[in-house]
Structure 1
Amino acid sequence: MKLSILMPVYNERATLESAVKRVLDVDYPVDVELVIVDDGSTDGTKDLYPQWAGDPRVNIHLKPTNGGKGSAIRKGAELATGDYVIMCDADLEYAPEEIPSLLQPILHDEATVVYGTRTFGSHNAFSYLYVLGNRAVTTAANVLFNVYISDLETCFKLLPLDMYRALDVKSAGFGMEAEITGKILRSGVRPYEVPISYKARSREDGKKLTWKDGVEALAILARERVRKPIAY
């Protein structure tokens, strides 16, 4: 089995080197590749990429303009060569060291899709409104699809590469998280959840998600719910 780790990057000069090092230093139970898609960074992030040019584990693609997280992930999935994919942001809100724990249900044939579920507390929540927004979107998905998942917006979504490509995710921005989940649930697949740690950034540190993304997520979930069931 081979895992493709998709890392969308936009203006992450301060954390990218550490993020890449941590991803590559993990002791994985499978073969891995890191697919980095720079989504038109303008802060000097692009100056960092030559240091990984000779690493066979790293595939770097530079987009000329910013198209949004969803578009970067879509490009990364096109370039990926693994059996499974997982998204891993470059901002270090998520710990790459925990990716092997998400692989265990797959390796033991217990799941097809695995989500890393965050537990929010005073030490790791960006803000109260952010947590409420995440819960509202997740609750909407649970009600619409009559399921129970704990964290729709988690970045750590592990699924087969061919399934991700078949989902044909169109959302260019953060709405991709809701679209992925809506389409997975519409297919009848239920994500297996594994608890993970989380360290939220502040707006000053570069947090990009806003309330508008939550409204978009709700609209996407409603749209996916009324569409015909799909199978993979």
Structure 2
Amino acid sequence: MPTTFPDEVDEAALADYAARYGDHRFAPVVVLIAAYNERDAIPAVLEGIPSTSCELNVDTLVVVDGASDDTADVAVRYGAYTCVAPTNRGQGAALRLGYRLAAERGARYVVTTDADGQYEIDELPRLLRPLLDDEADFVTGSRRLGSSENPQLLRRVGTYVFAWLVSVMTGQRITDTSFGFRAMRVEVANSVRLEQQQYQSSELLVGVLARGYRVRERAMTMRQRVAGVSKKGNNVLYGYRYSRVVLGTWLRERRAQRLAGASGSSTADEQVSEPARAAGE
């Protein structure tokens, strides 16, 4: 069910985080991971995240989404800043919380990756470089430009179909709408109104494209998960819900653009939160 930030779960998580870490400030780059019951998979991911990339310091932030195992304790042991949401809501809600934390605490760039080890963290500089060179505001990997170990035909077909749909709607060629390894300026992440507790990858990408931000893709690799069980469930149901989010987000953004045009302001300016504005200054 769509929600807006902050709800009572966000408030509880932010209070817990402040109690853990006080008023610390993040490094310029934050690698953000949403995790739910990933105690077995996440150690290998955290071990691989570098302390610097492209000559910038890197911090890791894990948002634990109401896990029933000891994912949070594992993340802390591996040196990650750890924000614990008391209720499981979904990856979208967890990442939205992480974007806000990154903005409030001084990060300039946010990189998302998954807790299941499907992405090659060694490819991080290829995501960051277009941002640092001011060639892009949002950079996403693409398994179609690179490679994927997923053998499921239906999932591969879905990747093609949704990429075609988003390309037609936005007028920009996109080859992969759901690749979870992405980098963006922190104010871009917070400029899009994120309501989806799941299926956030398409909501964010469509919102960013609709607002006219510069989006670039890079060829990257997607592996099989290293441990644990996928939370995406049935492929057909996932595809149906994913398509609803894509279309719903696009229609919502078009309405916002029309309203902004009538009032003489831009949708991007209207949607940027105060923490995001502060981070961008």
Structure-2 residue corresponding to 1:137: 162
**Whole-Å separation in 2 of the counterparts to 1:120 and 1:128:** 17
Structure-1 residue corresponding to 2:268: 231
- Residue among 225, 241, 259 paired with 1:201: 225
Kindly indicate which of the two structures has a greater share of residues assigned to helix: 2
- Residue among 163, 176, 192 paired with 2:200: 176
Q: Deviations over 1:147-190 (max 9, x none)?
A: 211111010221111121121211101x1111111111111224
Q: Contact 2:191/2:268 (CA < 8 Å) preserved in 1?
A: no
1:77 match: secondary structure: helix
Shift of 1:218: 1.5
- Residue among 93, 98, 102 paired with 1:71: 93
- Over the aligned positions, Cα root-mean-square deviation in angstroms equals 2.3
Is residue 53 of structure 2 the alignment partner of residue 32 of structure 1? no
Shift of 1:130: 0.8
Is residue 116 of structure 2 the alignment partner of residue 91 of structure 1? yes
Structure-1 residue corresponding to 2:74: 48
- Count of aligned pairs between the two proteins: 226
Shift of 1:131: 0.9
1:216 match: secondary structure: helix
Cα distance change of structure 1 residues 122 and 23 upon mapping to structure 2, 3 Å threshold? closer
Q: Deviations over 1:6-64 (max 9, x none)?
A: 11111111111111110136644312211101112223323424424xx4xx3101122
- Residue among 190, 209, 215 paired with 1:191: 215
152-161 or 27-36, larger mean C-alpha shift: 27-36
113-122 or 61-70, larger mean C-alpha shift: 113-122
The structure whose Rg is larger is 2
Q: Partner amino acid for 1:61?
A: C
**Whole-Å separation in 2 of the counterparts to 1:96 and 1:140:** 28
**Whole-Å separation in 2 of the counterparts to 1:122 and 1:28:** 24
2:124 match: secondary structure: helix
Q: Contact 1:29/1:100 (CA < 8 Å) preserved in 2?
A: no
Report matched runs for 1:98-113 at 5 Å: 98-113=123-138
Cα distance change of structure 1 residues 25 and 124 upon mapping to structure 2, 3 Å threshold? farther
**Whole-Å separation in 2 of the counterparts to 1:64 and 1:218:** 29
Cα distance change of structure 1 residues 126 and 201 upon mapping to structure 2, 3 Å threshold? farther
Shift of 1:121: 8.8
42-51 or 120-129, larger mean C-alpha shift: 120-129
Is residue 29 of structure 2 the alignment partner of residue 3 of structure 1? yes
Cα distance change of structure 1 residues 186 and 18 upon mapping to structure 2, 3 Å threshold? same
**Structure 1 consecutive aligned stretches of length 4 or more whose deviation exceeds 6 Å:** 120-123
Structure-2 residue corresponding to 1:221: 246
**Whole-Å separation in 1 of the counterparts to 2:29 and 2:48:** 16
Shift of 1:109: 1.7
- Between the two proteins, what is the percent identity of the paired residues? 26
Alignment TM-score, normalising by the size of structure 1: 0.88
Q: Deviations over 1:99-146 (max 9, x none)?
A: 111111112221111111113899602411111112211111111222
1:119 match: secondary structure: strand
1:61 match: secondary structure: strand
Cα distance change of structure 1 residues 27 and 84 upon mapping to structure 2, 3 Å threshold? closer
